């Protein structure tokens, strides 16, 4: 079975070269470590993890350049998956997985930001959640999964059944390391509103790999709120496989100091009449760095589909760096596809206008930067609770200097 | 007709480095380089540069991105660079489709052979003499590259392969070792060259147009428009084009470099074009890429001085059997610099147009502005169009925007034109011409006319 | 006493050192309405922005005094806090900042201790006066507003912030007769007795609805003529040409 890859550089009889990166030499986890991690789990759980581990062993960690991985090392003891759950009781623990769930998880296998990180979580995590809604159920309460320890390794599987509707939050309030791999299946007519909040600390490594398969007329609204760290690498691959499927992806990011973040959002449109919109908004300042890879890929026969990607970033200081890599890959001409990236400082005209209303220069700057994020914060507040996002707004606000 | 290939991904094992093997070209050795240099009666310093480039070529791995080059065998071209080897193809070898195009474009008999790499000389001498006298009066130096090496060594030594050194990438090194032909232009301070200079006139050796080196130096305040290439299909005896263009735009100078290329459909076009611009200078690249089987071409402008400007206009046509991996690179290294890129591509008949761009704004490039727009038109459903720009910004005082749109001709537009009496093919061709118009209007008129005629031909054949 | 006084003001474009104000003299007393007219491209907006302190311009000599005190050393926001208001011809759009909330926080920054309820009521009634639908109060500041709606937003701000001197930069451009009349009515209504107004306008029409005490003609960086309201009518009939003779170049 082949996994869902990130790049697709083949067209008819042509192929293009895929760049290969160098690898790191890091002290690895051992077979003993692995055996300890599967202890106590169900048979299906053991099958799932053993398969992941066998492949994991053959790979090495990549020597990323844009956001360098040179300070990375594996943690000992092996991190657990500790989390608090609030909301509807529609979940079970990942280690309780049954055979059908294992087959499903295997069918939703994907490359991620690097196969090694995706498998790191799958191989060594001791837990995670499996969420399954009931058909046609509409959950008023938001399901909140809050990770509670300094370091986390977790694998998750979320199944939103036909015509059911769920709001869910993955919340990482801090911590210095996490590798979390999550697979999502939205069946026909399903609706999932999903919010990731990662308030990573300045010295931290976070690898979040996520793959979403969206069925007929199903809808995904995805909000991904990130700060930055030593290496923060969120990866979200959204694939519309059913006619009329749609996804709206809205990343927000704000690294400061020396923090770095390397994000990838890929919308892969397979089915006709489906649509994916990606809109990223961020700010960088001090010596921080943001790499934003937003891609739309429209496959042959995805007629009458639309894919649009847009990122806009404000740079507040001369030592900060933004690299925007918007990609547009189109194999079907009966579509509407576009991408755009805008990067810049705040226009002096806007600051002047606010100053003529009595705001000082720094107050004007703060208002404009906060204003850039505000429309999305507002959306988040309307869908989820004010509690979580209120805290985030404050964190973002404090970062504007 | 091309058959549809069912692709099993495991066939393309990207993880296997042997897949894009190191082209060592054992046939390409020091001996041949010395022969070439001696044949051209080159000074020692140029021979040494060639040998150094050969050494770099051998020690550099293949670039790990772009079109698949496994069909390219550098050994095959070696016989053709050896002086005194039989370079000329016979007219019989020239493919029918090329002869056909010459016919339809109404190209004069005498030119056809030269374009097809058949016959040694195209007699442009007479015309050229007249122009040369005018230029001499202005102090403009316009010679073929080989003569320039001998007559103006100080100038050539100062600038030749300094902008794109041999260690830039493997094909730059190859070029440095076996380059041949090309143009050298020097425009003195404040001289505005009144007519466009054309490289076309300088094609002397049959079959050698593939490794030409063009070096242009526009001194302070000068202005020049240089035209390279031609829109008629060029048939090559071997299948690699690894030319190089280096342009130095001094303070306040302005250079426009227009190219239209239509290499035959068996060619690998791996060309390097780069310009560096000093304060208040302007560089304009206007490119039309129609031919070749696989192209990797990214005209690059380095904005080195304050207030320097770059303007890239490009139209790319990817038809049946073609991958056009093209783009542009603009590097802002100084304050108050600005750049615009307008890149348009058309893909049809299974072709693949791939735009790859780099926009780099360094920390020192305060108050810079850049706007990049890519539009792609897909004429049918079996072609592909991709855009992957990289935008790297490292200063807080900049205004950068990039936009790309991919789409098709609307049925409504075709219908409307047909109600005015155009056939479907004519309607499509008109819409495509309209799509390309902002670029084609910047090309010299004969080229624009040729370009339009060629597009018409292509569209008719793809519909018919 | 003069509320706003401009004394032999010379200013240049900060980046290029080109002189754009070449000795402007203007004196506006408390409660007065002044109008500045001038041909297109004469730089009338520039004068407004120099008064406001836009860093694009640099004063090279002369003075600007508010209530007798020079304001040249004050930043833009300090001038705003002192009571100068500028209504823009093309107001900026500020995403993420709601109009209502913005007004309240600005008013509070100016030192107002008025209770929120009262402020909200006032904003709502002002919106009615300028005929701006209440829903605009919840929208982001000027974002997606039409030209007319942007002008109304500016006037609403004027009405709420109650400055000492309000400068209106071409508030009449692009408006039809009815809209113009409504705008003028609002301005008249919001004007307090002690408030001074400076109208920068291209056409005389606006002055049919807002009666100026003085009319100035601004040409080529200077005030070329000053007179009563009749001057406006003369220009309407004869154009600016008759004034161009005798202008110091």
Distance CA B435, CA B375 (A): 9
pLDDT single digits (tens) B199-235: 644 343 444 457 889 999 999 999 999 988 755 555 5
Is residue B37 one of the residues assigned to a domain? Answer: no
pLDDT for position B82: 57
The answer to whether residue A118 scores a pLDDT higher than 90 is yes
| Cβ-nearest to A330 among B65, B380, B385 | B385
Q: Does the beta carbon of B388 lie under 8 angstroms from any beta carbon of chain A?
A: yes
Mutation target for C interface from A282, A346, A350, A355: give the one with most C CBs within 10 A. Answer: A355
Query: A375: nearest CA in chain C?
Result: C96
Two tokens at C14? 């900060």
What is the reported pLDDT for A179?
94
Residues 366-385 of A with CB under 8 A from C: 367-368, 370-375
pLDDT for B4 beyond 50: no
Please report the ipTM that was assigned to this predicted complex.
Answer: 0.83
Which residues in chain C have Cβ-Cβ distances shorter than 8 Å to A370?
A: 96
Chains that touch B (3 or more CB pairs under 8 A): A
Give CA–CA dist C206/C213, Å, rounded: 14
- State which residue of chain A sits closest to C98, comparing Cα positions: A371
Secondary structure of B209-257 in HEC code, one letter for each residue: HHHCEEEEEECCCCEEEEEECCCCCECCCCCEECCEEEEEECCCCEEEE
Question: B378 contacts in A (CB within 8 Å)?
Answer: 330, 333
In a domain, B342, yes or no: no
Q: Do A358 and C77 touch (CB under 8 A)?
A: yes
pLDDT at residue B206, as a whole number: 40
Q: Is the pLDDT reported for residue B38 higher than 90?
A: no
Q: Do A374 and C96 touch (CB under 8 A)?
A: yes
* Chain B: residue whose CA lies nearest to A17: B65
Is A16 in Cβ contact with B68 (below 8 Å)? yes
pLDDT at B85 over 50: no
What pLDDT digit, counting tens, does each position of A64-87 carry?
A: 888 888 888 898 888 888 889 999
Considering chain A, what is the average pLDDT of its residues?
91
- Decide which of B230 and A239 is more confident: A239
The tokens for A120 are 């790191």
Contacts of residue A350 in chain C, CB cutoff 8 Å? 92, 94
Contacts of A368 in chain C (CB under 8 A): 94, 97
A358 vs C80: CB contact, 8 Å cut-off?
yes
Whether the CB of A355 is below 8 Å from some CB of chain C: the reply is: yes
Residue B451 · residue B444 · CB < 8 Å: no
At B280-313, the pLDDT tens digits run 999 999 988 887 777 888 999 999 999 999 999 9
Residues A380-398 pLDDT 10s: 988 987 777 788 888 898 8
Instruction: With CA atoms as reference, report the closest residue to B347 among A81, C245, A110, A328.
Output: A328
Q: What are phi and psi of A352, to 5 degrees?
A: -60, -45
**pLDDT for A133-182, tens place per residue?**
999 999 999 999 999 888 999 999 999 999 999 999 999 888 889 999 99
The domain total for chain B is: 2
Is there a contact between A9 and A18 (Cβ–Cβ < 8 Å)?
yes
Query: Looking at CA atoms only, how far is residue B328 from chain A in angstroms?
Result: 14
Instruction: From C226, C169, C166, select the one nearest C196 (Cα to Cα).
Output: C166
- DSSP characters over B6-68: PP-GGGS-TT-GGGG-----TT--HHHHHHHHHHTT--HHHHHHHHHHHHHHHH-PPPSSEE-
**Percent of chain C residues past pLDDT 90, beyond the cut:** 49
Residue A231's SS3 state is strand
A330, A340, A347 ranked by CB distance to B402: nearest: A340
How much is the pLDDT for B308?
Answer: 97
Q: Name the 3-class secondary structure at A164.
A: coil
In the numeric block, which tokens belong to residue B48? 């040494």
Domain coordinates in residue numbering, chain C: 33-54+80-244
> Hey, are the CB atoms on B388 and A10 less than 8 Å from each other?
no
Residues of B in contact with A330 (CB under 8 A): 376, 378, 384-386, 406
Mutation site for A-interface testing, chosen from C54, C76, C112 by largest number of A Cβ within 10 Å: C76
- Give the model's pLDDT for residue A260: 95
Cβ-based contacts of B402 with chain A (< 8 Å): 324, 326, 340-342
CATH of domain C33-54+80-244: 3.40.50.300
Cβ neighbours of C55 in A, within 8 Å: 348, 352
Nearest CA in chain B to A321: B394
Contacts of A375 in chain C (CB under 8 A): 95-96, 140
* Predicted local distance difference test score (pLDDT) of residue A334: 83
A41: closest CA of chain B, how far (Å): 34
The pLDDT of residue B396 is: 86
Question: What is the pLDDT, as a whole number, of residue C79?
Answer: 87
pLDDT attached to residue B123 = 40
Per DSSP, the three-state class of B129 is: helix
In this predicted structure, the answer to whether residue A231 has a pLDDT above a threshold of 60 is yes
How many Cα atoms within 13 Å fall on the side-chain side of residue B233? 27
In angstroms, the Cα distances linking B387 to A265, B302, B374, B406 are: 16, 22, 8, 9
Gap between the Cα atoms of B288 and B297, Å rounded:
11
On the question of pLDDT at C89 being above 50, the answer is yes
**B402 inside 8 A of chain A by CB:** yes
Of A10, A316, A340, the CB nearest to B7: A10
Chain B residue nearest residue A316, CA to CA: B396
- Residues B166-207 have pLDDT tens digits of 888 888 998 999 888 788 999 999 999 988 887 644 343 444
CA distance A255 to A316: 11
Q: What is the pLDDT of residue C140?
A: 85
pLDDT over threshold 50, residue B6: no
CB–CB contact A330 B378 (8 Å): yes
Averaged pLDDT score across all residues of chain C = 88
The pTM of the full predicted model, rounded to 2 decimals, is 0.81
What radius of gyration do chain B's Cα atoms show? 22
Where residue B425 falls among pLDDT bands split at 50, 70, 90?
confident
Output the pLDDT for position B124. 43
A47 has a pLDDT exceeding 50: yes
Residue A348 sits at the chain C interface (C-beta within 8 Å): yes
Chain A: residue nearest B389 by CA?
Answer: A325
Nearest by CB to residue A356, choosing from C80, C94, C102, is C80
Chain B residues touching residue A316 (CB < 8 angstroms): 396
Find the angle CA(B203)-CA(B204)-CA(B209) to the nearest 5 degrees: 50
Q: Do A357 and C91 touch (CB under 8 A)?
A: no
Mean pLDDT of C150-162: 92
Instruction: Write out residues 138-167 of C within 8 Å (CB-CB) of A.
Output: 140, 157, 161
Chain A positions touching B380 (Cβ under 8 A) are 333
Q: Which pLDDT value is given to residue B125? A: 44
**Max avg pLDDT among A183-192, B97-106, C138-147, C186-195:** A183-192
d(CA B216, CA B231) in angstroms, rounded, equals 22
Same domain, B144 and B272: yes
CA distances from A88 to A335, B240, C8 (A): 39, 65, 74
User: For residue B220, is it within any domain?
Assistant: yes
User: Has residue A276 got a pLDDT over 80?
Assistant: yes
CB nearest to B390's CB, from A325, A335, A337: A325
User: B64 and A339: CB-CB below 8 Å?
Assistant: no
Could you tell me the pLDDT band of residue B105, with boundaries at 50, 70 and 90? low
Interface test with A, best of B292, B321, B387 (most A CBs within 10 A): B387
| A254 shares contact with chain C (CB less than 8 Å) | no
Q: Per-residue pLDDT averaged across C163-177, rounded?
A: 89
Condensed to tens digits (0 to 9), the pLDDT of residues B348-380 reads: 888 898 898 899 999 999 999 999 999 888 888
Q: Which residue matches tokens 């996520």?
A: A210
- Top-confidence residue, B285 or C101: B285
Is C75 within 8 Å of A350 when comparing Cβ atoms? no
Residue extents of the structural domains in chain A: 10-345, 347-401
* B153 min Cα distance to partner chain A (Å): 40
Nearest to C80 among A347, A357, A372 (CB): A357
Q: Is the dihedral of CA B116, B122, B127, B133 positive or negative?
A: positive
A56-94 burial: b if 16+ Cβ within 10 Å, else e: beeeebbebeebebeebebeeebbbbebeeebbebbebb
Smallest Cβ distance to A372: which of C86, C95, C106? Answer: C95
Q: State residue A1's pLDDT score.
A: 59
Q: Indicate whether A306 pLDDT > 80.
A: yes
Is B371 touching A (CB cutoff 8 A)?
no
A334 touches chain C (CB under 8 A): no
Average the pLDDT over A261-272 and give the result.
96
Full domain range(s) for residue B419: 409-464
Q: Are B313 and B287 in contact (CB under 8 A)?
A: yes
Q: Looking at the complex, does the CB of residue B154 fall below 8 Å from at least one CB of chain A?
A: no
Going by pLDDT thresholds of 50, 70 and 90, the confidence category of residue B98 is low
Are B422 and B282 in the same domain? no
Pick from B249, B277, B297: which residue ends a domain? Answer: B297
Gap between the Cα atoms of C57 and C45, Å rounded = 12
Encode burial over C204-220: b for 16+ CB neighbours within 10 A, e otherwise: bbbbbbbebebbbbbbb
Tens-digit pLDDT profile for residues C2-25: 899 999 999 999 888 899 999 999
Q: Are A333 and A315 in contact (CB under 8 A)?
A: no
Instruction: Write down the pLDDT at residue B20.
Output: 32
Section A292-310 average pLDDT: 92
């Amino acid at each position: 079975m082949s996994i869902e890859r990130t790049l697709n550089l083949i067209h008819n009889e042509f192929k293009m070269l895929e760049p290969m990166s160098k690898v790191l030499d890091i002290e690895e986890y051992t077979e003993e470590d692995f055996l300890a991690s599967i202890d106590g789990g169900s048979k299906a759980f053991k099958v799932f993890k053993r398969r992941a581990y066998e492949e994991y062993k053959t790979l090495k960690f990549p020597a990323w350049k844009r956001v360098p991985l040179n300070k990375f090392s594996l943690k000992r003891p092996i991190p657990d998956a500790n989390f608090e759950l609030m909301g509807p009781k529609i979940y079970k623990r990942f280690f309780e997985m049954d055979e059908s769930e294992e087959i499903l998880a295997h069918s939703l296998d994907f490359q991620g930001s690097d196969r090694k990180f995706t498998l790191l979580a799958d191989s060594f995590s001791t837990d995670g959640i499996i969420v399954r809604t009931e058909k046609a159920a509409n959950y008023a309460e938001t399901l909140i999964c809050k990770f509670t320890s300094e370091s986390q390794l977790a694998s998750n599987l979320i199944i939103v059944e036909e015509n059911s509707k769920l709001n869910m939050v993955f919340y990482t309030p801090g911590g210095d390391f996490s590798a979390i791999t999550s697979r999502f299946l939205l069946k026909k007519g399903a609706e999932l509103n999903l919010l990731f909040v990662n308030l990573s600390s300045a010295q931290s490594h976070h690898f979040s790999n996520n793959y979403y398969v969206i069925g007929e007329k199903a809808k995904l609204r995805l909000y991904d709120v990130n700060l930055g760290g030593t290496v923060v690498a969120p990866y979200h691959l959204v694939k519309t496989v059913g006619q009329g499927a749609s996804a709206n992806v809205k990343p927000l990011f704000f690294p400061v100091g020396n923090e770095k973040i390397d994000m990838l959002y890929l919308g892969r449109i397979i089915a006709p009449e489906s649509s994916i919109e990606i809109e990223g908004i961020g700010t960088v300042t001090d010596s921080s760095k943001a790499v934003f890879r937003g891609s739309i890929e429209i496959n042959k026969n995805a007629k009458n589909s639309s894919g649009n990607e847009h990122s806009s970033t404000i740079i507040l200081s001369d030592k900060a760096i933004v690299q925007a890599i918007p990609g547009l890959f189109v194999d079907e001409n009966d579509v509407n596809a576009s991408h755009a990236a805008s990067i810049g400082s705040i226009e002096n005209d806007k600051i002047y206008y606010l100053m003529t209303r009595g705001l000082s220069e720094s107050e004007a700057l703060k208002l404009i930067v906060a204003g850039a994020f505000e429309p999305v914060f507002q959306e988040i507040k309307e869908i989820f609770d004010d509690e979580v996002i209120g805290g985030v707004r404050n964190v973002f606000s404090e970062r504007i200097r | 007709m091309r058959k549809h290939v069912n692709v099993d991904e495991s066939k393309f094992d990207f993880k296997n480095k042997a897949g894009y093997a190191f082209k060592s070209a054992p046939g390409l050795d020091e001996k041949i380089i010395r022969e070439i240099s001696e044949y051209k009666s080159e000074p020692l310093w140029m021979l040494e540069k060639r040998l150094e480039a050969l050494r770099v070529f051998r020690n550099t791995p293949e670039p790990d991105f772009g079109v698949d080059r496994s069909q390219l065998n550098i050994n095959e071209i070696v016989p053709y660079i050896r002086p005194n080897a039989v370079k000329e193809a016979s007219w019989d070898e020239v493919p029918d489709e090329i002869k056909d195009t010459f016919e339809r474009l109404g190209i004069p008999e005498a030119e056809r052979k030269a374009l097809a790499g058949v016959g040694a000389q195209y007699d442009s001498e007479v015309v050229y003499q007249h122009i040369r006298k005018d230029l001499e009066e202005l102090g403009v130096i316009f010679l073929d590259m080989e003569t320039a090496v001998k007559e103006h060594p100080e100038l050539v030594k100062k600038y030749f392969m300094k902008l794109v050194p041999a260690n830039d990438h493997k094909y730059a090194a190859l070029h440095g070792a076996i380059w041949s032909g090309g143009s050298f232009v020097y425009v003195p301070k404040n001289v505005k060259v009144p007519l466009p200079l054309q490289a076309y006139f300088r094609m002397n050796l049959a079959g050698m147009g593939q490794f030409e080196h063009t070096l242009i130096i526009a001194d302070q305040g000068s202005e020049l428009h240089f035209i390279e290439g031609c829109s008629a299909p060029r048939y090559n005896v071997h299948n690699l084009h690894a030319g190089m263009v280096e342009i130095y735009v001094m303070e306040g100078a302005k250079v426009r470099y227009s190219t239209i290329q239509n290499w035959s459909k068996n060619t690998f076009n791996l060309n390097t074009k780069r310009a560096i611009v000093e304060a208040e200078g302007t560089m304009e690249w206007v490119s039309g890429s129609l031919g070749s089987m696989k192209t990797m071409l990214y005209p690059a402008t380095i904005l080195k001085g304050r207030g320097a400007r770059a303007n890239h206009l490009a139209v790319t046509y990817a038809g049946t059997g073609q991958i056009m991996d093209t783009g542009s690179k603009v590097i802002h290294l100084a304050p108050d610099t600005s750049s615009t890129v307008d890149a348009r591509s058309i893909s049809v008949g299974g072709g693949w147009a791939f735009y790859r761009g780099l926009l780099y704004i360094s920390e020192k490039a305060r108050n810079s502005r850049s706007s990049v727009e890519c539009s792609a038109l897909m004429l049918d459903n079996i072609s592909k169009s991709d855009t992957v720009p990289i935008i790297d910004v490292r200063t807080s005082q900049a205004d950068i925007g990039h936009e790309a749109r991919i789409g098709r001709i609307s049925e409504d537009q075709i219908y409307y034109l047909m109600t005015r009496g155009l056939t479907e093919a004519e309607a499509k061709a008109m819409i495509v011409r309209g799509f390309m118009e902002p670029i084609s209007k910047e090309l010299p008129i004969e080229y624009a006319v040729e370009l339009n005629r060629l597009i018409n031909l292509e569209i008719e054949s793809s519909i018919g | 006493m003069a509320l706003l006084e401009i004394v032999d003001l010379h200013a240049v474009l900060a980046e290029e050192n080109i002189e754009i104000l070449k000795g402007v003299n203007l004196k506006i007393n408390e409660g007065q309405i002044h109008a500045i007219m001038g041909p297109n491209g004469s730089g009338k907006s520039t004068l407004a922005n120099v008064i406001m302190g836009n860093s694009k311009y640099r004063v090279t000599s002369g003075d600007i005094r508010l209530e007798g005190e020079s304001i040249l050393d004050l930043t833009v926001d300090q001038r705003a806090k002192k009571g100068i208001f500028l209504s823009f011809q093309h107001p900026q759009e500020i995403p993420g900042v709601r109009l209502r909330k913005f007004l309240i926080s600005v008013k509070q920054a100016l030192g107002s201790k008025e209770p929120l309820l009262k402020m909200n009521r006032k904003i709502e009634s002002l919106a009615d006066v300028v005929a701006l639908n209440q829903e605009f109060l919840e929208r982001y500041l000027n974002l997606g507003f039409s030209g007319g709606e942007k002008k109304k937003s500016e006037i609403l701000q004027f009405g709420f912030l109650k400055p000492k001197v309000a400068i209106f930069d071409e508030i009449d451009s692009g408006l039809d007769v009815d809209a113009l009349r409504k705008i003028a009515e609002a301005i008249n209504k919001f004007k307090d007795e002690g408030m001074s107004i400076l109208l920068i306008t291209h056409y005389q029409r606006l002055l049919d609805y807002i009666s100026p005490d003085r009319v100035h003609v601004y040409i080529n960086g200077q005030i070329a003529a000053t007179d009563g309201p009749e001057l406006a009518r003369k220009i309407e009939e004869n154009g600016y040409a008759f004034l161009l003779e005798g202008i110091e170049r």
